[in-house]
Amino acid sequence: MHQVPVFTDFHAARTLIHSLKSSDALARSETLAFVVMPTHLHWLFILKAGHLAEVVGAVTSVAAHRLGRRLWQPGYYDHGVRGDEDLRGMARYIIGNPVRARLVERVGDYPHWDAVWL
């Protein structure tokens, strides 16, 4: 399936970010890092309540509803983090995606990311 770069639109990207923040405010998740790429989201978070599928489904559903369109392909890729894994290293990798994708030269030039350590 062809991915449409919905999140090149500033408003669409910020709407998705607000959906992440809403999930945190509802105590479903605790966001550690994220980056909104043109066609997808990388999100490192601590699951606080419910099941992973419920939290991801709520975030993606809220964003789609607010933007008034279908945004997501079925399914998603997840990786459960073990206690011995380097969360800061994962966060650095996540927020470095726009640089690796050659969207910007420096992470600070990309507007749609955040990490609790920065």
Q: At 44, is the secondary structure helix, strand, or coil?
A: strand
CB atoms within 10 A of CB 72: 16
Could you give the percent of the chain with pLDDT greater than 90? 82
pLDDT digits (tens, 9 = 90+) for 61-115: 999 999 999 888 888 999 989 888 899 999 999 999 999 999 999 999 999 999 9
Mean local confidence (pLDDT), 38-60: 96
- Residue 10: the pLDDT is 97
- Residue 75: the pLDDT is 85
Eight-state DSSP code of residue 2? P
- Residue 85: the pLDDT is 87
- What mean pLDDT value characterizes the chain? 94
Mean local confidence (pLDDT), 37-47: 96
**How far apart (Å, rounded) are the C-alpha atoms in residues 12 and 93?**
23
The residue with tokens 């420096």 is 106
Domains and CATH numbers, the chain: 6-115 (3.30.70.1290)
- Residue 2: the pLDDT is 61
- Residue 15: the pLDDT is 97
The residue with tokens 């601590």 is 46
